[in-house]
Amino acid sequence: MEQDRLAGIRVALEEELSSLERQLTDLGASPDTAEVEVSVDEGFADSAQATAERSQQLSMLEQQQAVHSEVKAALKRLEDGTFGKCENCGQQIPIERLEALPAARLCLSCKQASE
C-alpha cells in the first residue's frame, strides 16, 4: 500500500475521530463510555413529544457512538499492521475503497456476500 495514501487515510480517520468526539460531547455523551445524558424540557406540556425527542436524541447518539467505535478500531488496525486486510477472507482491501470508507473491515466481495 502506498505510504502517502495510507498517511492521508490516517489523517482523515484522526480528523473524523476528533469531530465525532466533539459531537458526542455536545450531545451529552462521553466518547469513551456508553453513558448518555439526554435532557428534555421537563416543563414541556406534551410528554409524548418529550419522549419522541428523547428517543430521537438517543438514536442519534447510538449511531455516533457506533461510528466512533469503528473509527477507533480502524486506527488500532493501522497501528497493529492489520489495516487494509479483509477480516473475512484476509485479502487486501483496495486502497480506493479504504480512501472512500477508511473504517472498512471487509473487501467489497465479502461485504456484498454479507448483505
pTM for this one? Answer: 0.79
* pLDDT tens digits for range 102-112: 999 999 999 99
Dihedral of the alpha carbons of 108, 109, 113, 115, in degrees to the nearest 10 = 10
| Listed residue (30, 32, 37) closest to 58, CA to CA | 37
Q: What is the pLDDT of residues 9-51, one digit of tens each?
A: 999 999 999 999 998 888 778 777 655 555 555 555 667 777 7
Q: Taking a C-beta distance cutoff of 8 angstroms, is the pair 75, 35 a contact?
A: no
- For the four alpha carbons of 74, 77, 82 and 88, in that order, the dihedral sign comes to negative
